[in-house]
Structure formats: structure tokens, C-alpha cells
Amino acid sequence: MKLKKLILAGLALLALGSCQKETEPFMMLSAKKVSVTADGGAVSFDLSANVYYRVLVDENWMSIVDKTDAGDVTTYNLTIAPNTETTPREGTIRFIGDGVTPLKFIISQAGVVPRGVNPSSIIVNPEATSAKFTVLGDKPWSASCANPDYKLSSQSGIGEMEVNVTFPANEEYTDKTTTIEVVIVGEKYTVSITQKALGKPQGILADWALGQIKESTTNYFVDSDLQTTPGTGNKYIPASTGSGKIEYYACERTPDYTIKAGYNCKRLVGSNGDPYVEGTIVGDYWLVTGEYVRNIPAGTAIDFYFVTKFGTYVSNYWLVEYLDGSAWKPALQTSTINESATISGATGLPLATPYSAQITYNVAGTLDNTGNGAYHAVQGKFTISAPMKSIKLRFKPMGRVGFKDGRYIDYISQSCQSRFSAQHISNPDGTPVKEYNEHVTLKFAE
């Protein structure tokens, strides 16, 4: 009986031993991966384990600041540093336990979103009328410009956006810079747009190829009748290159002039394209105007050239001058001469009061080998001291002594003549050169 009890007791102990097997080793994370913003911050997770383990942190931008244990569960608290780069990054915390598979806790951190404007400085050519910049970031923003000529395609938004700016072309000879202000959640950024200055004007301002434009010169310049009132008579010669006009202004014919054969003032064009006027007297003048597409800056030098010829009964002393701002100034160096006359050109009789005057001039005529006026060039350079919308050259007689006979000019006739000529300048001895290739030219000096 006792033996039977011992056997039963042994069996019971074996049965109890078989129900109390050893616990399996384990290690388990509450999460395997988390994502954080570029700003960083705090991260927590739990590790459950019943084994001894080691912890390895592979990046210095994340750190375990503390941990708390509750039985087999350990809560880890991490600090993640801000990511100052635009590139996202990833870090790993490794848990290596005895007799269990190693675990990884992965932290994925976004790259910083750039905030500001790109580019912050823009340079464009003077003819450009638009530019673009991008507002960066993911925050609300607003943009404005104090210059009303600058228009923005968007003045506010949220997050990254391209903004188109439109503006007038720069028609000045200095750089123009305008600033656009962009505010992103209270932070101010600026975009500067610089329009480069116009380049120095160059080339032909206005040119009249007289021999080639004879037909149009005749149509625009010739009078159908004698001019009986002062002014231009609404007659002019348009430039063949560039933009401009050649005009003739006739002054009031006073009673001390005798008008011969009706030649009060008559505009004509010669067979080779020369525009000329019969009846020229002191007070009349030719006006040559060259127009440019925009203001011509102060300091601009202008070359001028033309060929002229004087009739035998006009002054031999002329003045070529240019308009500088509101003042007429000599376009060539001037000289003075005292001229006098005692005989009337109208009557051939002695003057009741002899004429005498000091003349300031910078162009003097010469006679050809037949005793008439020779063709000669008038050319030079001047520099304007004020911005000008156009260049104006004036050419006018200065004296009242007849070119050929020295008599007092007190009548108006066919021989009171002046012209711009297509004919080549005469030889030094006065012999004419029968070539018709001359121009009237205004051009920007090199």
C-alpha cells in the first residue's frame, strides 16, 4: 500500500514538473519607426524585454535623455535636434539582447524647408519688362512694392510660389533699382531688381542722302508759290536714315529791303537734289533736326557734316550753332570781323548812312573760278550739356555786305541764295567737282 502511494506521488510530481516549463526569452518594441519634422523635438517609445540587452545610438543628433522601467517594459525618452539641412536624414537606435533577434528603432527626420526668396537680387537688361522670383517655405506670406510701376502676379500666398514682376523698360542712362518686400510669418525679406542703364547712343542720328532723295525732297520742300509770310511754309525734308527734318525759316521782310522780281522767299530743289532758297536775308535760317527714340543724355557728342554754297548776294559770314538745353551755342569756334559798306545794293548809289558792324561767325564762303560761290564742307563736333529730346543745328547768315560786290544788302533777289548740296566739295582752286554723293548728317560721335 505504501509503495502504491509513493508511485502515485512520484507521478504527480512529474506531472507538475511538466506544467512549469522555463519562460521563453523575448524583446519587443512598441514601434519600429517614427517620423519627425525638421524642427526636431521629443520622441518616446517602449521596449519590452526579459533578457539582458545593450543599446547603441548611431547618430549624435538624437539622444536618450531618460528612461523609466515598469516590470519588463522600459520607456525611452529621446531628444531630436533640429535638422538645419534641406536634405532629410535617418538615424537608428539598435537593441542587442542575449538570445534574441536584435531590434532597430528608426527615426526619420525631414529636411528643413528653406524660407525666404530666391533670388534676392535680379539684374536685367534695359529693354527687359519682366522678372521672376520664388517665395520659399511652407508658411503664409505677403509681397509688396512701393513703386507703382512694378506689378506683382501674386501679392500673398501660402507656401512656395513663383511671382512674376512686370515693369516698364529702362529708358534712362543710369541703372534703376527697385526693391520688393516679402514678409513670411513676420520675417522680412527683399528682392532687388536692377534694370541696367541704356548704352551710349551710337550710329546715325539722322542723315539726308540728298542725291538719292531728290524726288521726295521736291515733293516735301518746293514751294508752289513764293512765300509771302514768315515761317517755314510747312515745308521740310525728311531724313532718309534715322528720323529728322531740314527746314527753312524765313523772317519778316522789313521795309528797308527792296524785293526784286518777287523773290520774297522761294524754296527749290536743283537737278542733282540740292534743296536751296532764293531770297535769303539776315534773320532767316536753316534748321536741321535729328530725333532720337528717347532722351539723349548730357555729355553726348554729336558729329555734323554738310556741304553748302552761297549765292553772290548774301553774307559771306555765317554761323552754325546747336541748341544746348534752351540756349543756342556755336557749333564751331567763332571769329569776328568788322564789315562795312557805303553803296546801296538796290540802287548802286551811296548810302545816306554808311553801314558798319562787327560780325561773329564760324563759316565763311569762297568763290569758285568763275566768280560764283564754291562748294565747301561744314563739319565739326559739339557736346550737349543738358539732356535733349532731339538735336538741333541752326545755320544762318550774319552780315549785310554782298558776298561778291561788297555792297550793302538792302534788296531781296534770286542771287540772295543759300543751299545744302549733294555736290562734292570744290577743288582748292574753286573748280567744281561733278560728283553728287554728299549728305547732310548728324551722328553720335565715336
pLDDT for residue 13: 41
Helix or strand (DSSP H, E) at 79? strand 73-80
Torsion sign across C-alpha atoms 412, 414, 420, 424: negative
- Which residues of the chain fall below pLDDT 50? 1-19
Q: What is the pLDDT of residue 19?
A: 47
Please state the φ and ψ torsions of residue 35, each to the nearest 5 degrees. -115, 140
Distances (CA, A) of 145 to 117, 131, 140, 192: 15, 14, 18, 10
pTM for the predicted model, two decimal places? 0.69
Given a contact cutoff of 8 angstroms between Cβ atoms, the answer to whether 247 and 232 are in contact is: yes
The pLDDT score that the predictor gives to residue 264 is 84
Task: Assign 3-class secondary structure to 167-213.
Answer: CCCCCCCCCEEEEEEEEECCEEEEEEEEECCCCCCCEEEEEEECCCC
For residue 14, give the 3-state DSSP assignment.
helix
Strand ranges in 81-137 using DSSP code E only, listed in sequence order:
89-97, 103-109, 116-118, 121-124, 130-136
What percent of the chain is helix, strand and coil (3-state, nearest 5)?
5, 50, 45
How far apart CA 37 and CA 48 sit, in angstroms, is 27
pLDDT tens digits, residue range 275-296? 999 999 999 999 999 999 888 9
pLDDT at residue 21, as a whole number: 58
233 CB-near residues (< 8 Å, 6+ apart)? 223, 227, 248, 250, 265, 267
Look at residue 199 in the predicted model and tell me its pLDDT: 84
- Give the pLDDT confidence score for residue 28 in this predicted structure: 94
The radius of gyration computed from the CA coordinates of the chain, to the nearest angstrom, equals 49
pLDDT of 287: 98
